Structure 1
Amino acid sequence: MDGKLAVIGLGSIGSMALWQASRLTDAVVGFEAHSPAHGRSAVGGDTRLFRMLYRGNPNYYPILERSRQLWAELEAETGQDILTRCGGLSIGTKDGPYLTALLETTRTNGAEHVILSREDMAARYPQHNLRPDDIAVYDPHAGALRTDRAVTAAIEAAQANGATIHTDTPIDSITETTDGVIIASGEKTWTYENVIIASGGWSRRLMPDYLKTATETRRNYLTWFVARDAAQFSPEKFPIFIRISGNRSMYGAPAVDGVTVKATLDGRSSPTPQADSVPRELTAAEITETMETVTEFFPGLFPNIVRSDAFPDLYTMDGHPLLGRLADRSRIYCATGFSGAGFKNATGFGEIAAHEALGKRTFDGLDFVRPERFAQ
């Protein structure tokens, strides 16, 4: 055996699984096809939104609570500022489907929140140009996660705990035996007691057929704008936001660099054949819709895209991740398929993956993310 656990892919989830596993054993090894936080991975784009308020399955909430604790632990352990705690806004039509669903989940979970009227928003956050029937829900625990810093900090912490890292080592195949799992990169092979697949958009080639048919690699794009008055879009004055107003939708983050504001159309991912060949340039339609939306939503931003990029991620048929062993006694554990929404929970998911893959403990209430739901 070359170790107790190998983590394949050191991006959003893999880096956190490696960090958590390194707290349990020093016989853990991470494999990264390129370099940690490389610019073509789903980590790219500077920031991701952290929020406690969302719409959907209430079983995510305990993971969110644990993730918030673990982000603070990672900051304390590494001395890095990772979560910019600026609060968050969910904006939409009063009594419309978006906020109705969000408030239903929020009240089920008991999450702290404040409802802001249109007048409240005009007084507190005048950067947003609201429609007459728009209101907002404020999340005091939300913020912007610094993605590159988070991943590199987690890997640094894992190495300090004794973990080994192999960069520029793409894994070509994994083969499960009765005693362990053989992984191969070119002519090199290693054998580990257990393996975690956490390579995002590159995971499909390492999966069994039933998961290949249940997943799809998709392209997500991001856009940034310059503020007319940058101080008005600083983290102290401008929370992260998600807005779904009628036929327009957008999400974004404050100017963490003091210059550019992230403002990106929501829900616009599209299929892409290969994670290695995601089109980076925006289409004319993407540019037009983005600029029209920014013009309406944010008069304080110059409506010209000053920066854009695109990244791959792995999506599942039901939008929930793949978190668990391929089968009851399998030594291969999946931590992938987070469908463009995994980073806020990366520390929590990483902890679950590390403990379960090493056989330290199991977690209840996670049937909705287990891979076997697709094994029909």
Structure 2
Amino acid sequence: MQTDFDVAVIGLGAMGSMALWQLAEDGLNVIGFEQFGVGHDRGAVGGETRLFRRMQTSRPDYTPIIDIARRQWHNLQEFSSVQLLTETGGLTVGPANDPRLIAFRTAARGAGVETETLDRKEMNDRFPEHWLDHDEVGIFDPTQGFIRCEQAVLTAVARARALGANVQDYSKVRIEHSTADGVILTDGPREWKAKKVIITTGSWSGDHLDAELRGRSRPGRIRLTWFTPLPGHDFGPATFPVFDRLVSDGILYGAPSLDGGGSVKIAPGGAPTDISDPDDYLRGQSVDEIRYMEEHVARYFPGLHQSPIRACAWTDFYVDDWIPFLGLLPGSENVVLANGFAGFGFKMCPAIGRIAADLVQGKIETKFQFMDPSRTIVTRLTQAGPMLR
């Protein structure tokens, strides 16, 4: 049986859940589709926490988006008994003359964020669980914090449902037919019609792209590891806030223990490992990958047991120029893409949901057009991707 909707959202992860919630708040008749269960751990949402900061070093264009997101995080908080965004402040640690640290300072000034530079002694006094070499410093940014990612998605979808949104979980839909009058979607036995569609399918986005965009993007594998503290060490939010740790061969990032000291998340940043199929990849980690983390944890975080108690992998979607797709699918009048956020987009997801909701209602903000899918995408970059998450 076919039912008409104003907007259909395909994929209810980070971006899709936020778009569905805000479309429902706008009073539209909306339906959301999720191929797995809501809040599942197969895409880019899993892993307990995501880092939040007011600026993204790769482009200043993201700062106004993050400012919108911060307001929307506080709006969403009204509907959750769990603290979604916790602003503890955060650290960036590394050699004082490292270009990445200099870029961080520049981005902070551009975003109007006042930071504090701490020398080795000051770091040891305030944040003793970080080991610094003699030429290293820490930069404290009071705007940083962490987001409870799974709870955020569950809260947004629950709020959308409370406002009347139709949610179809375990339903993998495809676009059967699209015209200016609307879009027909099907999961095989069932069919739905919507005036507009937002595609927020993350790692599975290639299924919905044309050959040109599919050739410029791909799913990738992201590694996360958790370590347990040694006796007498405190990795709680007050003494071990979120951080980026610049190392000679890349970046580590992490979040404090949220379970009373049982586990601390530390993970490698930078470029992902390409995968061909987000339904078939190594969800654990290889011995070499685990040993890499053990070596770095032993050096920089000596208050942790060296071996991880948990080592997993998730997926996200990447565009060759590291800029997401946010805008109309080329050649379409009623299908909006919101994907390709490359492992750094969760902090922005309420704003991305807001922008996508505005786009399907005909509202265009030119300052966000740098993410338009019809842009010219440069040849694939081989460097480490966004400098800081």
Normalising by structure 1, we get a TM-score of 0.96
Q: Name structure 1 gaps, 5 residues minimum.
A: none
Structure 2 residue aligned with 1:75: 77
Deviation at 1:329, TM superposition (A): 5.8
Which structure 2 residue ranges, 5 or more long, are not aligned? Answer: 379-389
Among 294, 298, 307, which residue is 1:304 paired with? 307
Q: What residue number does 2:151 align with? A: 149
Could you tell me whether the CA contact under 8 Å between 1:35 and 1:168 is conserved in 2? yes
How many residue pairs match? The answer is: 375
Q: Secondary structure at the match of 1:232?
A: coil
1:233 and 1:261 in contact (8 A); partners too: yes
SS of equivalent residue, structure 2 residue 50: strand
Quote the offset at 1:268 in angstroms: 4.8
Q: Secondary structure at the match of 1:354?
A: helix
- Please give the per-residue CA displacement for 1:225-250, whole angstroms capped at 9, x wherever unaligned: 00114761111221100111323531
What one-letter code is carried by the residue in structure 2 that aligns with 1:114? E
Cα drift, residue 270 of structure 1:
0.2
Structure 2 residue 33 is the aligned partner of structure 1 residue 31: yes
Q: Residue 288 of structure 1: SS of its match in structure 2?
A: helix
CA distance in 2: counterparts of 1:364 and 1:77, whole angstroms: 31
The answer to whether the 8 Å contact 2:8/2:30 transfers is: yes
- Give the alignment of 1:329-340 within 5 angstroms: 330-340=333-343
- Of 115, 136, 139 in structure 2, the residue corresponding to residue 137 of structure 1 is 139
Q: Does 1:238 align with 2:240?
A: yes
User: 1:183 and 1:230 mapped to 2: Cα distance?
Assistant: 56
- CA deviation profile, 1:254-291 (whole Å, cap 9, x unmatched): 00122100011122510111111121121121111110
Distance in 2, matches of 1:372 and 1:42, equals: 24
Larger displacement relative to structure 2 (145-154 or 181-190): 181-190
Q: Is the 8 A contact 2:113 2:143 kept in 1?
A: no
Identity %: 36
2:57 corresponds to: 55
Alignment of 1:201-350 (within 5 A): 201-229=203-231, 232-258=234-260, 259-327=262-330, 330-350=333-353
In structure 2, C-alpha distance between the alignment counterparts of 1:20 and 1:274, rounded to whole Å: 31
Indicate conservation of the 8 Å contact 1:70/1:347, yes or no.
yes
Q: Which amino acid aligns with 1:156?
A: A
User: Residue 80 of structure 1: CA displacement?
Assistant: 3.0
User: Which piece of structure 1 moves more, 306-315 or 53-62?
Assistant: 53-62
Q: Which of structure 1's runs of 4+ aligned residues deviate more than 4 A?
A: none
Q: What is the TM-score normalised by the length of structure 2?
A: 0.93
The whole-number CA distance in structure 2 between the counterparts of 1:260 and 1:272 is: 28
